[in-house]
Amino acid sequence: MTKIHIENECRCFKKSAFENDLTFEDKEDALMKAKIMECRMNQEFCHTHYFEAEDMGDEIIIRSKLREDDEDDDDDDEDDL
């Protein structure tokens, strides 16, 4: 059995239809679901956090960290084009 655990439930996660501590009989199914969740959370949530799934054996942890404010970097990149 493999469990998907969200390490820190942010406000967006709590408002979403996602559930924490999902359990799967098949590890491949758990990995696929965790990657889908990671992708959707990064695309659909408020972009305050960045989410990353990490395989820890019998558990897949989805961790969050604050996104860096890189607005200034974006302006520099436009000038390079």
pLDDT digits (tens, 9 = 90+) for 23-69: 999 999 999 999 999 999 999 999 999 999 999 999 999 999 998 87
Containing domain of residue 66, as a range?
A: 2-80
pTM, rounded to two decimals: 0.80
Counting the structural domains of the chain, the total is 1
Partnered with residue 23 across adjacent β-strands are 3
**Cβ-based neighbours of 34, under 8 Å, separated by 6 or more:** 4, 53, 60, 62
| 3-state DSSP percent of the chain in helix, strand and coil, to 5 | 40, 30, 30
21 by Cβ neighbours in 10 Å (0-12 / 13-18 / 19+) ranks as exposed
